[in-house]
Amino acid sequence: MAPKGIDVYFDNVGGKILEIAISQIAQNARIVMCGGISSGYTTEALPPGPSTLTNLIIQRGRMEGFIVLDFAQRFGEAMIQLGTWVSEGKIVYQEDIAEGLENCPATLARLFEGKNFGKQLLKVADPD
């Protein structure tokens, strides 16, 4: 998918996914971290950080935290720009859709266990 390495990676998972991404970065890559759902909802001790951090040094990469609410005043502008990029194919996304209200607990568990791929959604019913 990125034969020359990852230039920009937006991470909201952490854990093994972040570790793999760091191992695949290109020179001068940027990693934006906005969450860590893979380890943030557990009573267990947090796992050690990524074993691939040295690759940030080797590739001269940067990793920085991002809080979306710091940019609340620009949400309208962002929605227009992001919509354009999706339409142009510059941003690609995947949805993981479960169906039926009865599957809500299992779907939520999949999200927190990192078993979904892409945006986790629950389709409750078809629109009338």
Q: What is the pLDDT of residue 31?
A: 96
Least confident segment among 9-13, 54-58, 86-90, 98-102: 9-13
Which region, left, alpha or beta, applies to residue 119 given φ > 0 means left and ψ of -120 to 50 means alpha?
beta
Residue 101 belongs to a domain = no
Q: Which tops the pLDDT comparison, 98 or 51? A: 98
Residue 98 belongs to a domain = no
Residue 110 belongs to a domain = no
Can you give the CATH number for the domain in which 56 is found?
3.40.50.720
Q: What is the pLDDT of residue 51?
A: 86
Residue 25 belongs to a domain = yes
Q: How far apart are CA 67 and CA 40, in angstroms?
A: 16
Tokens of 23: 């191992």
Residue 103 belongs to a domain = no
Residue 61 belongs to a domain = yes
Q: What is the pLDDT of residue 96?
A: 94
Residue 53 belongs to a domain = yes
Q: Tens digits of per-residue pLDDT, 19-49? A: 999 999 999 999 999 877 666 666 677 667 7
For 116, phi and psi rounded to 5 degrees?
A: -85, 160
pTM of the model: 0.66
> Chain-wide mean pLDDT for the chain?
89
Residue 108 belongs to a domain = no
DSSP state of 46: P
Q: What is the pLDDT of residue 41?
A: 60
Give CA separation, 115 vs 16, 47, 59, 68, 70, in Å: 12, 18, 30, 24, 29
Q: What number of CA atoms fall less than 13 Å from residue 35's CA on the CB side?
A: 9
Residue type, 20: I
Q: Where in the sequence is the domain holding 19, given as residue range(s)? A: 6-72
- What is the number of domains present in the chain? 1
